[in-house]
Amino acid sequence: MSADALWTFAMACNVYLTFFRQYDAYMLRRLEWKYALLAYGMPFVPAFTYLFVYTEDRGRVYGNSQVQIHHPILLQLEY
């Protein structure tokens, strides 16, 4: 997920700010809302946009899904 990578980037920024810019816990806490907006807001924009994308040839971006099971024991089970 891209949010995981963005949270990792935010924590790397925390390390940088702590060691090289002498930020304390209070200053880092004030940045948390910006991290949340970055980590969840950036992936949300294209995900929300794709809800409304439709083409004649391919249809919607989000559509029906199908679970594929490749494990040999699970293939023998009946659901």
The average pLDDT across 6-30 equals 96
pLDDT at 19 over 80: yes
* Tens digits of residue pLDDT in 25-70: 999 999 999 999 999 999 999 999 999 999 888 888 887 766 666 6
Task: State the pTM of this model.
Answer: 0.66
> DSSP characters for 13-74?
HHHHHHHHS---HHHHHTTHHHHHIIIIIHHHHHHHHGGG-EETTTEESS---------HHH
Distance CA 36, CA 74 (A): 39
